[in-house]
Amino acid sequence: MGVHMKRFLIILLVSILIIHMFPKKSFASVSVNSAAAIVMDQKTGRVFFEKNANEPMKIASITKIMTAIIAIESGKLDEEVTISKNAVNTEGSSIYLKEKEKMKLEDLVYGLMLRSGNDAAVAIAEYVGGSVEGFVYLMNEKAAQIGMKNTHFANPHGLDDSDEHYSTAYDMAILTKYAMQNDKYKEIAGTKVHYAPNPSSKWDRKWTNKNRLLTGLYKYSTGGKTGYTKKAHRTLVSTASKDGMDLIAVTLNSPSSGDWNEHIRMFEFVFSDFEYQTILKDGNIEDVKNSIYKNRAYLARAYQYPITDEEKDLFKVEYRLIKPKKNWKKNPENVPEIIGKTEIYFDDKLIQTMPIYYKYEDAETKKSFFDVAKQIFGTIIGVKAND
């Protein structure tokens, strides 16, 4: 065997060893020109691909996702809003509201989301928050509440009137994940055309959604929000669903209208390579051996996670149970309902915790002999009485 052949075989063997030393993982090959991007699973929050996802940037009109969800959660959608001069004079994209006109808050939210009306944003803020400043306070409170750690809002519309108005691709995905849990938000964000009353005309206003993914470009699109300012450039949040998988994509500072295709590429990458796998089943936890908890420790629901076939071995599950008290064996009714937690790790990272419940003895089996005898006796009497 020649020297070159020996060297080749050594290199080949070393390569094989290196490959098998590390678990197979799926690495994204999505290409995006946007300065920041992310695609996230809506159910679990798994991030499949990201680019500069935690870098704060200007976000333009995707700000209005926060404005919309706060308006919806206010419980005032059926109330009428009197439009102020301040709202009418707001610059930029508009639904052409008129001063002192009255419009239902719900219609304003449709105008906000479908046509990106900045006038609608101010009208909503003034009504729900008492003032624009009061509403901005609510926006930042909500951002902190849902875990948007690198976000600060300065207005309800996203115009470039403050350097203190910014977010990240990741935070906007977190916001959308939160908002999509609200059925009314899902309905509005996924509406292609909406009609609203117009007091100065016999014809209703007709608003067509600016989200081209939703209106024709992508059949799996379920909603989202567009944005653009000179400083922020193009921004886009979109959602898509296929075969039970719900996704969120965000791009910030996109140089051109190619962001539509970037979102489609991100969605298709996930839809083609990933699927939900059941990591834990609901019901009894067989791995629990403690005599008090055995056959009584259970999970109330199953847990699924979107993975590739190569990632199945990257999971680790740990059960952490509270130390049982001695008297629980004779008095199982004293055992607390929740007896611990399940920790699910993926690629050595904690991704989910779930409560472990205690299954009490069935009420039927707890009946005393006297109770059973009483029931049988009553049945016999009942039968005789019916003869």
Count of beta carbons in the 10 Å neighbourhood of residue 161: 12
C-alpha–C-alpha distance, residues 260 and 313, integer Å = 35
What does the alpha-carbon distance between residue 160 and residue 235 come to, in Å, rounded to a whole number? 13
What is the distance between the alpha carbons of residues 365 and 275, in angstroms, rounded to a whole number? 42
CA distances, 336 to each of 71, 282, 326 (Å): 40, 19, 14
Structure tokens at 374: 């009483």
Please list the alpha-helical segments (H only) found in the chain: 3-21, 64-73, 85-88, 105-115, 118-129, 132-145, 169-179, 183-189, 212, 259-273, 369-385
- Scanning the structure block, which residue is given the tokens 């919309």? 68
225 in a known ligand binding site: yes
Name the residues annotated as catalytic. Answer: 61, 64, 116
Report whether 192 contacts 186 (CB < 8 A). no
The C-alpha atoms of residue 236 and residue 381 are separated, in whole angstroms, by 74
Summarize the annotated binding site for substrate as residue ranges.
Answer: 225
Binding residues: 225
